[in-house]
Amino acid sequence: MRVSHFPRAALVLAACAACSSDQPTGSGGATLELSPRSATLQPCATTQFQARVHNAPDPGVTWTSRDPAIADVDAAGTVTGRGIGIATIVASLRTDPARSDSVQVRVEGGTLSLTVSGGVADTIEAVPAQPLVARATWAAGCAAAAVTLRFTSPSITSAAIGRDAAILLGLPGQAPRDSVVEVATDSTGAAQPSVRLGRKAGTYRVRVQAPQGAPADSVSFTVRGGAPYRLAVTPRDTALYPGAAVALRVDAEDRFGNAPSLPITFASRRPEVATVTSTGVVSALSVGRVSVVLSWTGGSDSAALSVVPRGRLVAYTHRYGSGETAALYTFGLDGSDYHPLIAGPLGFNTRGPRWLPGTEQVVFHDLDPAGSGFLRLMVVDPDGGLRPLRQPPASDEGESGAQPTRDGQWVYFSLVPGYQRVEIWRVRPDGTGAQTVSTHTGFALHDYGPSPSPDGSRVAFVTNRTATGSGAVIRVMQVATGTELALDLPGLLPRWSPVGEEIAYLSDGRLRVVRADGGGDVAVGSGFLADDREGSVAWSPDGKWLVTCATGPVLGDRSLVLVNRASGETLPLRFTATHRLCEADWHP
């Protein structure tokens, strides 16, 4: 509470007919006259007026004040000062109100104090439920009526006071100057301008000041953001190993760009896979796919998480434009240790990278560094060192699709020994002992895409040796005898399980698994379209998971997905979409 002092004035009582706009009245002998004829007093002080009535059958008088905010009067003629100024006090006969007399009362001096209440916090464009009230009180304890108070906004660009006793706070783009609205106190000493909160969040101070240099008081309003309108979650979709955690970062705005004030809650749809705290920290518990739901009043959003088995992949960049840089990347299934093995002028979109068992080397095919123009099998070391797997004869016109045996003793591959011929061959990892595996060779006969069984006795492959002489089907061959099991399944890119009798392959955009004897052919996984032309299939070392390449909604988009062989649950690896990774192989 702050106070100010006005000059004191002596109480003056004097009969002065000229000070009154009404004259003593009388009719038929009845007269009414007030005394004293004027008075001067301080706020809250009182003075008594007398009404002299003569020759009236009923001497009763009615008292009124024409300026009750300055001075009021009770039924006995006692006048109380309320505010600074001059008030007219009127007395009239009850039986004949036209018979009246009046005097003037001057109210001046006194000590004034201010109290301000109503500062609140509310959301954008709200009208605060608690009003802004500035109350002026005289030192003697009565209300200070008819005092003009000034409400001033701070000199900041985002607050302004409007016209018509309305205070507008949080309006962006206002001029950096004080804006003022003046409001007179009522008979209770209160001034109550309306307040509306604008569109810009922040804390705004309103200064209230009485006239004649009286000390000011102030109150603060806080404009909070509204409901989330735009929301970005980082990471939106990620991968973790069981036991790891990630903190979700939420960047949200209301429709005017403020940080929302409404709380956002987090909930896991599969708490057995991952839990989430009230602050958005997600903890992975078991392998699976889970969504974390972000909710607020009036809306919701979600983030996704793949909790993945431990493992390491190598994959190749799927290029869409000819000017893009291609690379072989290696990384953990959770995206850790993500780095290129080799980057540079690798051509085409198929490279068929495969780990060489027992080493950290990767075998793949690329254009012959000697300049023949044919594809050759190359080996890259962990440090990026590059060498040919073998030195083929000049007559060979290309080799691709390397697939090492589980024991690391052989590397199977597709060889083009001449025009319109493709055969299955194998070679030792050191480049020696190359020998043919195919038993049916000749012009326009294509056997390719070999995948040896875990024990190396059989090999699954693709051939065009169909009944119609067109298309591509999958068969199984005994390596020692050349005997073929004509599964004749339409499909590509067969891959034998490292631990069993199942062969995974791609057909019409679906990942499928079939037994080596041709039985139990089923599709596995859902929610993606596999790239069965430039993709591949690989098994986890324990035979429980498959990894393949999925196409995206935009032409050229690629990313990797994990599929559980038993349940078919699909775990997208969204981080692989950054470099459009495809043709992945699981480290044995």
How far apart CA 303 and CA 15 sit, in angstroms, is 88
Report for 249-263, 468-482, 498-512: range of highest mean pLDDT:
498-512
The predicted-structure confidence for 446-489, as pLDDT tens digits, reads as follows: 999 999 999 999 999 999 988 776 689 999 999 999 999 988 89
pLDDT at 359: 95
The predicted-structure confidence for 300-333, as pLDDT tens digits, reads as follows: 899 999 999 999 999 998 765 555 667 899 999 9
Sequence letter at residue 575: F
Cα distances (angstroms) measured from residue 224 to each of 153, 278, 448: 18, 21, 66
Considering only CA atoms, which of 547, 534, 500 is closest in space to residue 406? 500
Q: Is the preceding omega at residue 36 within 30 degrees of 0, hence cis?
A: yes
pLDDT at 159: 37
Look up tokens 């591959």; give the residue: 413
Quote the Cα angle for 392-418-422, to 5°: 90
State the pTM of this model.
0.71
How far apart CA 202 and CA 206 sit, in angstroms, is 13
Tokens linked to 364: 């793949």
Q: What is the 3-state secondary structure (H, E, C) of 43-95?
A: CCCEEECEEEEECCCCCCEEEEECCCCCEEECCCCEEEECCCEEEEEEEEECC
Burial class for 467, CB neighbours closer than 10 Å (0-12, 13-18, 19+):
exposed
Q: Is the preceding omega at residue 388 within 30 degrees of 0, hence cis?
A: no
Domains of the chain: residue spans and CATH:
32-107 (2.60.40.1080), 112-224 (2.60.40.10), 230-307 (2.60.40.1080), 312-526 (2.120.10.30)
The predicted-structure confidence for 349-363, as pLDDT tens digits, reads as follows: 568 999 999 999 999
Lowest mean pLDDT among 61-75, 96-110, 118-132: 118-132
Higher-confidence position of 210 and 24: 210
Look up tokens 């969040």; give the residue: 201
pLDDT band at 18 (very low <50, low <70, confident <90, very high): very low
How far apart CA 454 and CA 493 sit, in angstroms, is 17
Task: Give mean pLDDT, residues 421-432.
Answer: 95
Considering only CA atoms, which of 69, 70, 68, 65 is closest in space to residue 34? 65
Task: Give mean pLDDT, residues 405-418.
Answer: 95
> What is the separation of C-alpha 45 from the centre of its chain, rounded to a whole number of angstroms?
63
- Strand 148-152 vs strand 237-240: parallel, antiparallel, or unpaired? unpaired
- Residue 577 phi, psi (nearest 5): -70, -20
Considering only CA atoms, which of 371, 368, 406 is closest in space to residue 390? 368
How far apart CA 25 and CA 43 sit, in angstroms, is 30
How far apart CA 145 and CA 163 sit, in angstroms, is 22
List, in sequence order, every residue forming a beta bridge with 225; answer none if it has no partner.
260
Residues across the chain: 588
How far apart CA 282 and CA 168 sit, in angstroms, is 42
Contact indicator for 570, 525 with CB cutoff of 8 Å = yes
How far apart CA 110 and CA 5 sit, in angstroms, is 6
For the sheet with 386-388, list strands across it: 354-355, 362-367, 375-380, 386-388
Q: Describe the chain by its helix, strand, coil percentages, rounded to 5.
A: 0, 50, 50
Higher-confidence position of 451 and 158: 451
pLDDT at 496: 97
Quote the Cα angle for 355-400-444, to 5°: 150
- Coil, strand or helix: which one is 231? strand
Contact indicator for 69, 77 with CB cutoff of 8 Å = no
Task: Give mean pLDDT, residues 361-382.
Answer: 91
Cα distances (angstroms) measured from residue 17 to each of 23, 53, 68: 7, 17, 22
Contact indicator for 137, 147 with CB cutoff of 8 Å = no
pLDDT band at 370 (very low <50, low <70, confident <90, very high): confident
Mean pLDDT of the chain: 86
Contact indicator for 22, 45 with CB cutoff of 8 Å = no
